[in-house]
């Protein structure tokens, strides 16, 4: 079978004088190809909007999705849309992300120009959209509810990053390669002792590594202080800069160290440059001296220009004296309530009581979650502090979760031991890769059937900025801030459009695909840069607020819609949005109509399409096919004549069923979301032949199918 697009290449050569609306054959005396002859019938069709039966459906609007900039140029797109359609919907330019600037200001000039050009053309505008989770200026919205960080007061100060006195066996911040170490008495406690029995080929064949948690940055000042000596005179060894132990970056960090046979203090300062930046390790190269080295009281500091010293800052806490549970929750097997007042730790106040009434198959089958607002980062230090007890002795693990139920690592703050008496638990940790990007501690309670008691839980982090303060908004403050921002956007948008734009998608795509009777949420997901879920801060009533604001700032007779996709694919989602409309109206807002997007294909289930229209019709609301396009499940380069005939038939079916099932008084209209085939590289169904016209503005069989569906012929 010949490809239809190949046919058009020849056809277009013959139709050089054809307008964008009609196929008009020039007067050549040649035999016409059969495939061209089969498309001559398209010449007989009128402009598309003339097929709407205005007597049967006087308020019906035939719409097109457009690029505002393309229309405003008043070129081919302007003429094409104005000739064929009653109404336009902007694809992107009337959304939050296009309007709200980085400083929060509203840039409405392009929209005002769009309204003016639409008035000149005599074509109406359908507003799209006021409250959606995508195409948002999410950076701005997240910024206005971000924690306020107040830096510490005071001038520059030296802050300790690593301090080692070798008085215990904690070797987390030092290691050795090429030799063994031991400890000796320096007259005032222990010192690190390293014996190098023979000269090695390279001095770096024997190395002592001292690490610190913070990567160096160009321009910072660092100081190394330590007590050193050697068994022999004339010893010298260099210091290298390493990204991590063994990951060499530069041959010189703090210069050469020249110990004597007596203990002496070394103190060296350096300014970080490109050769020593992004490093966390000092390497002492010991391989060229046959001697015994001694080290004690090693300290690495950096000069903090903004603070007078580091501090442990509380990031989340709860003493359970109120019912505020915004930073904790339990799963269904962890039954939570409170003790009586006076039964908390030290006999003061109340405590949280969590009962696990059976030994579970897995200890995580019963979990208590405690959360904090900012995700952990590698190298940060955290402390968990709390008072605990249980009715029966128990030892429970702590897991690291990105958010509650989103497991990341089996160990976070180690095990917590419970006895029948109140005990105070304190554990400090340094965040590693397996505990980074985490905002939740999960306590696994399922191994012991008992009641656990928690009081005075605090999570703190080591603030390098010293003395600074982080002020986190409460959920109520975030809700109020985001609600105010929604109002500002809606008021601004309707303020410049209400004199001409009389219908809007107020709420777009609210329902969750996996849980079609519930709202979408961004919680627990990796979000795109333009995603922001109003409902995660304003709750289920976010749509109630949006509709009420639209009514407040718009016109009393405006038509306000809720809109979603896949309603014909997932009938439960169709029922879910109908149910949500009932909820919105039960809370005092008015919803005038429901939009079904219908981004479908030639093989979409026709029975489900009919059932969707039946369900929507039963609501009594205005019903709009808001974003209709139909693919052939192939790219344009692969589509055949048979594919295009099937596409025409599906367009005709959808339009006919809409007009047949939706009562005339409920027919708002149909919008062709992509009137032309989608170009390769488009952001929407790229390279697919989804339109009624091809990219060259030539009518396709789909045009006839759509027109026949409208006319009933």
3-state secondary structure 298-365: EEEEEEECCCCCCEEEEEEEECCCCCCCCCEEECCCCEEEECCCCCCHHHCCCCEEEEECCCCCCHHH
30 pLDDT band (50/70/90 cuts)?
very low
16: helix, strand or coil = coil
pLDDT in the model for residue 308: 54
pLDDT, one tens digit per residue, over 254-272 is 999 999 999 999 999 999 9
Give the C-alpha separation, 88 to 636, whole Å. 25
- The confidence score (pLDDT) of residue 36 equals 62
Nearest Cα to Cα of residue 111 among 463, 639, 492: 492
Residue pLDDT, tens place only, 36-71: 667 788 989 999 999 999 999 999 999 999 999 999
Tell me the HSE value of 159 on the side-chain side, using a 13 A CA sphere: 23
Q: What is the mean pLDDT of residues 9-18?
A: 34
Q: Tell how strand 394-401 and strand 415-418 pair up.
A: antiparallel
Cβ-Cβ contacts under 8 Å for 667 (sequence gap 6 or more): 57, 59, 60, 622, 623, 658, 659
Using an 8 Å Cβ cutoff, are 488 and 105 in contact?
Answer: no
Strands 181-185 and 593-596: unpaired
Q: Which CATH class is domain 312-465?
A: mainly beta
Look at 7-21, 354-368, 404-418 and tell me which has the smallest mean pLDDT. Answer: 7-21
Average pLDDT estimate for 4-30: 38
Backbone angles phi, psi at 505, to 5 degrees: -75, 105
Sequence-ordered list of residues with C-beta below 8 angstroms from that of 102, at least 6 positions apart, any chain: 137, 139, 140
Average pLDDT, the chain: 92
Bridge pairing between strands 124-131 and 87-90: parallel
For the chain, where do the domains classified as CATH 2.60.120.260 start and end?
Answer: 157-304, 312-465
Indicate where the chain has its CATH 3.20.20.80 domain(s): 86-145+473-597
Q: Which pLDDT value is given to residue 538? A: 97
Q: What is the pLDDT of residues 400-416, one digit of tens each?
A: 999 999 999 999 999 99
What is the pLDDT at residue 386? 97
The CATH class of the 157-304 domain is mainly beta
Mean pLDDT of 93-104: 96
- Inter-residue contact 24 to 36 (CB < 8 Å): no
Closest CA to 290 of 372, 395, 206: 206
- The alpha carbon dihedral of 509, 512, 518, 521 has a sign of negative
CB burial class (10 A; 0-12, 13-18, 19+) of residue 180?
exposed
Q: With residue 99 as reference, give the H or E element that holds it.
A: helix 96-99
Q: What is the mean pLDDT of residues 559-575?
A: 98
Q: Using DSSP, state whether 50 is helix, strand or coil.
A: helix
Q: How many CA atoms lie within 13 A of 29 on its CB side?
A: 0
The DSSP output letter for 690 is: -
At residue 439, the 3 state secondary structure works out as coil
The domain over range 86-145+473-597 is classified in CATH as 3.20.20.80: yes
């Amino acid at each position: 079978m010949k490809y239809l697009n190949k046919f058009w290449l020849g056809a277009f050569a013959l139709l050089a004088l054809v307008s964008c609306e009609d196929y008009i054959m020039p007067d050549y005396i040649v035999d016409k190809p059969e495939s061209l002859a089969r498309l001559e019938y398209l010449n007989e069709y009128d402009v598309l909007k003339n097929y709407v039966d205005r007597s049967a459906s006087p308020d019906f609007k035939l719409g097109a999705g457009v690029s505002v900039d393309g229309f405003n140029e008043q070129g081919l797109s302007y003429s094409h849309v104005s000739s064929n359609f009653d109404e336009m919907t902007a694809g992107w330019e009337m959304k939050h992300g296009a309007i709200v600037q980085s400083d929060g200001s509203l840039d409405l000039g392009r929209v005002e120009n769009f309204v003016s050009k639409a008035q000149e053309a005599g074509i109406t505008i359908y507003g799209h959209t006021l409250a959606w989770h995508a195409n948002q200026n999410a950076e701005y919205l997240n910024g206005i509810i971000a924690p306020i960080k107040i830096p510490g007061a005071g001038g520059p100060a030296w802050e300790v990053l690593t301090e080692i006195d070798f008085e215990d066996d904690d070797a987390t911040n030092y290691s050795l390669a090429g030799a063994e170490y031991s400890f000796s008495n320096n007259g005032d406690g222990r010192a690190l002792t390293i014996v190098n029995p023979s000269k090695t080929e390279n001095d770096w064949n024997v190395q002592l590594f001292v690490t610190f948690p913070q990567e160096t940055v160009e321009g910072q000042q660092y100081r190394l202080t330590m007590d050193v000596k050697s068994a022999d005179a004339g010893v010298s060894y260099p210091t290298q800069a390493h990204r991590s132990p063994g990951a060499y970056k530069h041959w010189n960090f703090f210069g050469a160290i020249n110990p004597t046979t007596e203990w002496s203090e070394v103190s060296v300062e350096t300014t970080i440059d490109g050769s020593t930046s992004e490093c966390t390790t000092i390497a002492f190269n010991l391989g060229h001296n046959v001697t015994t080295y001694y080290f004690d009281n090693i300290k690495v500091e950096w000069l903090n220009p903004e603070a007078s010293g580091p501090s442990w800052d509380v990031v989340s806490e709860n003493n359970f004296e109120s019912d505020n549970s915004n930073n904790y929750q339990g799963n269904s097997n962890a039954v939570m309530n409170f003790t009586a007042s006076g039964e908390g730790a030290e006999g003061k106040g109340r405590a949280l009581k969590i009962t696990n009434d059976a030994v579970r198959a897995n200890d995580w089958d019963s979990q208590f979650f405690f959360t904090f607002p900012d995700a952990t980062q590698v190298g940060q230090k955290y402390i968990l502090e709390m008072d605990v007890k249980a009715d029966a002795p128990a030892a429970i693990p702590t897991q690291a979760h990105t958010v509650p139920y989103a497991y990341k690592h089996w160990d976070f703050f180690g095990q917590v031991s419970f006895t029948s008496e109140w005990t105070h638990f304190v554990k400090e940790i340094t965040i590693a890769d397996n505990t980074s990007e985490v905002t939740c501690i999960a306590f696994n309670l399922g191994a012991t059937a008992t009641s656990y008691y928690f009081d005075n839980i605090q999570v703190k982090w080591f603030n390098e900025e010293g003395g600074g303060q982080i002020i986190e908004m409460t959920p109520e403050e975030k809700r109020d801030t985001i609600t105010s921002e929604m109002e500002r956007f809606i008021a601004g948008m309707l303020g410049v459009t209400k004199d001409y734009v009389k219908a809007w998608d107020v709420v777009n795509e609210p329902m969750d695909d996996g849980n079609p009777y519930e709202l979408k949420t961004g919680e627990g997901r990796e979000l795109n840069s333009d995603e922001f879920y109003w409902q995660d801060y304003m709750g289920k009533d976010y749509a109630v607020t949006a509709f009420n604001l639209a009514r407040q700032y718009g016109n009393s007779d405006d038509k306000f819609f809720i809109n979603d996709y896949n309603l014909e694919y997932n009938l439960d989602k169709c029922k879910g949005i109908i149910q949500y409309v009932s909820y919105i109206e039960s809370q005092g807002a008015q919803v005038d109509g429901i939009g079904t997007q219908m981004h479908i294909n030639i093989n979409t289930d026709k029975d489900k399409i009919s059932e969707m229209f039946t369900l929507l019709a039963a609501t009594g609301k205005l019903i709009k096919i808001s974003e209709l396009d139909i693919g052939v499940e192939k790219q344009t380069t692969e589509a055949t004549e048979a594919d295009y005939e099937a596409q025409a038939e599906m367009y005709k079916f959808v339009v006919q069923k809409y007009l047949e099932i939706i009562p005339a008084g409920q027919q708002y209209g149909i919008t062709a979301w992509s009137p032309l085939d989608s170009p390769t590289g488009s952001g929407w169904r790229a390279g697919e032949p989804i339109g009624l016209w091809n990219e060259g503005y030539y009518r396709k069989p789909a045009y006839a199918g759509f027109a026949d569906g409208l006319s009933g012929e």
